[in-house]
Structure 1
């Protein structure tokens, strides 16, 4: 971590284009000042800069009021993630402010937990669900990565603060990931810290169905809540990072977690050519 930001200004710009949602937010002192979440076609390269300008104008924010730019570095869409990271680095360089990359899955987990609790308010407000534990909630963000895989991680609820990371961001085969979670859940129960609820949030339609989660449901209280990433959570995570320091503007890169299919094919082709020599 470099470029320590000892006297941050009060406002921050955040960007995330790692999913189908283009999220832009202006935050300050842990509060949301303005947010635009445009979902639909993944044509983020066309809409990102106009939406940034709109958010700045709507919140009355000028570049000289910014203390930094935060950006979701993925994992997620390869092209989408590159768009936001490139834009964030360019704006930070032009405005001479620090830049910080944050996990898009961390932001998805934090926002998804808030949405889940809001939807389940009666259950969260006193009634103890069947099979609920006495430990903190677990949050498992999901973004489909095709071929039975998902971009995912594991976090634990940490009060009103950002969720605490328990497992790193990765692309995982869901069948294996659910088995790992089941073993971890059994271990937590044996230690007396079984999570109250396991929340699967994000793109849950494919990987969070009752059928796919059936064996996990036998061990604990499991809920799946569809959720689309909102820019504010990238902003709140970015504020935390920027108050502590920032990333090297030239070294900040997307977190792909694996080679894209095109890059993998190119590497296999290159290796094949070398083997023929």
Structure 2
């Protein structure tokens, strides 16, 4: 099965082609911050360089979240369009799971995390074996104190590997909450979201109707928060609040 995978969830743009568990190719752009302009050309390049067309792809996979609100919509919209027009499978993959997939874990718990500022993180805890990654701390939007307490409860005596945003600047907070923690940051290359890892996770994932795929932000947008504060109404479906703005 040939899988074309996309991630625009962070400042790292990545596109890959996998054939079952084999990574055929991956192309990356780091910190360009203009994914809307670069995504389609990058897809065209990787297909052309590997003598493939979109019609040769059996399944499209995309980082579904968490991540940048705008970034997620760019990647998801592109993947949905391809899958819908070509009548191919579409799979959404957790951005955090794809980070965990890229770590050589051993007997460790992997904390995949993206800094959400003000001591908050998009994060999830994972363990990894020959069968892939398993989520043991649910993906969510956590204050660092809450995150560490949940990881501590799940980790037991396991070593902790952080992957994603640089955790070293939080060292004092980490050790004050969990003095006996044995942790490290993943190697530099693993701390970016790679499309090839999305493709590996997508191989055995359930396909979704393109019309039903939406980003998994894991927290309310500022517009939703402002709308709720203004109207006092309960949160509804993803776009209800737009009519009130």
Q: Which category describes the TM-score, using the shorter chain as reference length?
A: 0.7 to 0.9
1:231 is the counterpart of 2:195:
yes
2:197 match: secondary structure: helix
Question: Any idea what the Cα deviations from partners look like across 1:174-230, whole Å, max 9, x if unmatched?
Answer: 122112323444xx3xxxxx32x2101110246x64323224664342112351111
Q: Which residue of 1 is the match for residue 115 of structure 2?
A: 144
> Which 5+ residue runs of structure 2 have no aligned equivalent?
234-245
Q: Which residue of 1 is the match for residue 89 of structure 2?
A: 98
> How far apart are the structure 2 equivalents of 1:157 and 1:230?
17
> How far apart are the structure 1 equivalents of 2:136 and 2:71?
26
CA root-mean-square deviation: 1.9
For residues 63-74 of structure 1, the aligned pairs below 5 Å read 63-74=54-65
TM-score (norm 2): 0.87
TM-score (norm 1): 0.77
Q: CA deviation at 1:88?
A: 0.4
The partner residue of 1:81 within 58, 72, 82 is 72
User: Contact between 2:13 and 2:29, CA under 8 Å: does it hold in 1?
Assistant: yes
User: Contact between 2:137 and 2:151, CA under 8 Å: does it hold in 1?
Assistant: no
1:157 is the counterpart of 2:118:
no
User: Contact between 2:145 and 2:177, CA under 8 Å: does it hold in 1?
Assistant: no
Q: How many corresponding residue pairs?
A: 230
> How far apart are the structure 2 equivalents of 1:147 and 1:216?
17
1:204 match: secondary structure: coil
Q: Which residue of 1 is the match for residue 241 of structure 2?
A: none
Give the structure, 1 or 2, with the largest relative contact order (CA under 8 Å, sep 6 or more): 1
Q: Which residue of 2 is the match for residue 203 of structure 1?
A: 165
User: Contact between 2:148 and 2:178, CA under 8 Å: does it hold in 1?
Assistant: no
User: Contact between 1:35 and 1:231, CA under 8 Å: does it hold in 2?
Assistant: yes
For residues 34-73 of structure 1, the aligned pairs below 5 Å read 34-73=25-64
Task: Return the index of the structure with the highest Cα Rg.
Answer: 1
